[in-house]
């Protein structure tokens, strides 16, 4: 398959290890990955903060960038984020329609229909759960709210994790509880956000896991920031980083995002 990667703005700028791992993983599985360079952001932050007018050019840019998928130029768009996929699927059309951009709204719908969060792409579209990964660590998984409730990914991420050689998956108490990030919620209601984070950090620590994984670096940035502040030693890693890890080119918990031991391209 020819798959276009929507890296997400936050991972592009702050957590490049996740989209890099997506590239490694999909190429290892025999697919071609394309990164359309005009992409920037899906507009979720603007929409969820209520700045719908300011969201229009951002959403418009995303839809124009990925419109070729609707014409068959690529087979699918993959996003290493549940909440960005949710915004693409459930908000972009509304933003454009509200601005009176009906033709663009139709394109947005067509793009959204071919856009998948990583675990959806792997399990539903590519039909794989064992991606041939090796990751000998104790891991717990936090199902992020939007992947769980906006997308309904269900147990796909856990099925992928269970198939990873060497990985011990330990259950997380109150797993479906929100970590308190909520985008700008963490600033507008900083105290409530911190209280929610405290509870999430406590349940993660209780698992005894070495690594906390999820399908969204935004939530991982939040929980990871709490795990770091409390000196817990638990490392946040994106699902893609674990699935990209092999004996030949292992992902290392706690490695710098783009340092020599971070996830590299598969040997070619």
Q: Quick check: 61 binds other proteins (CB under 8 A)?
A: yes
Q: Shortest distance, CB of residue 170 to other proteins, whole angstroms?
A: 21
Q: In this structure, what are the phi and psi dihedrals at residue 234, rounded to the nearest 5 degrees?
A: -75, 130
Tell me how far apart the alpha carbons of residues 43 and 219 are, in angstroms, rounded to a whole number. Answer: 17
> CB under 8 A: which stretch of 116-124, 156-164, 183-191, 206-214 binds other proteins?
183-191
Contact code string over 126-155 relative to other proteins, x by CB under 8 A: -------------------xx-xxx-----
At residue 214's C-alpha, the angle toward residues 211 and 216, to 5°, is: 130
Handedness of CA 245, 249, 253, 256 (dihedral sign): negative
Which of 141/164 has CB closer to other proteins?
141
Q: Does 229 bind other proteins (CB under 8 A)?
A: yes
Write down the least CB distance from residue 137 to other proteins, Å. Answer: 18
In 3D space, the residue among 142, 135, 138, 169 whose CA is nearest the CA of residue 224 turns out to be: 142
Can you read off the two tokens belonging to residue 41? 């952001």
Smallest distance from other proteins to CB 118, Å: 15
Among the listed ranges 107-115, 156-164, 239-247, 256-264, the one in contact with other proteins (CB under 8 A) is 256-264
Q: What are the phi and psi torsion angles at 2 (to 5°)?
A: -105, 115
What is the smallest separation between the CB atom of 67 and other proteins, expressed in angstroms?
Answer: 14
């Amino acid at each position: 398959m020819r798959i276009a990667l929507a890296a997400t703005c936050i991972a592009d700028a702050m957590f490049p290890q996740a989209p890099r791992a997506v590239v490694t993983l999909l190429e290892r599985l025999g697919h071609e990955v394309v990164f359309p360079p005009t992409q920037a952001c899906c507009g979720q932050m603007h929409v969820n903060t209520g700045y719908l007018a300011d969201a229009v050019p951002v959403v418009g840019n995303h839809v124009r960038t990925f419109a070729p998928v609707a014409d068959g130029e690529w087979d699918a768009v993959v996003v290493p984020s549940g909440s960005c996929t949710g915004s693409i699927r459930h908000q972009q059309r509304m933003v454009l329609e509200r601005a009176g951009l009906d033709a663009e709204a139709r394109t947005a719908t067509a793009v959204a229909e071919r856009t998948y969060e990583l675990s959806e792409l792997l399990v539903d579209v590519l039909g794989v759960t064992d991606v041939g990964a090796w990751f000998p660590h104790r891991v717990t998984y936090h199902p992020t709210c939007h992947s769980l409730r906006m997308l309904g990914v269900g147990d796909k991420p856990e099925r992928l994790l269970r198939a990873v050689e060497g990985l011990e998956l330990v259950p997380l108490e109150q797993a479906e509880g929100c970590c308190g990030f909520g985008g700008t919620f963490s600033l507008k209601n900083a105290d409530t956000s911190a209280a929610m984070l405290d509870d999430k950090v406590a349940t993660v620590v209780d698992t005894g896991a070495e690594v906390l994984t999820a399908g969204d670096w935004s939530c991982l940035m939040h929980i990871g920031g709490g795990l770091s502040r409390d000196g817990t030693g638990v490392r946040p890693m994106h699902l893609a980083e674990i699935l990209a890890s092999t004996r030949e080119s292992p992902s290392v918990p706690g490695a710098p995002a783009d340092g020599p031991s971070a996830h590299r391209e598969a040997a070619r």
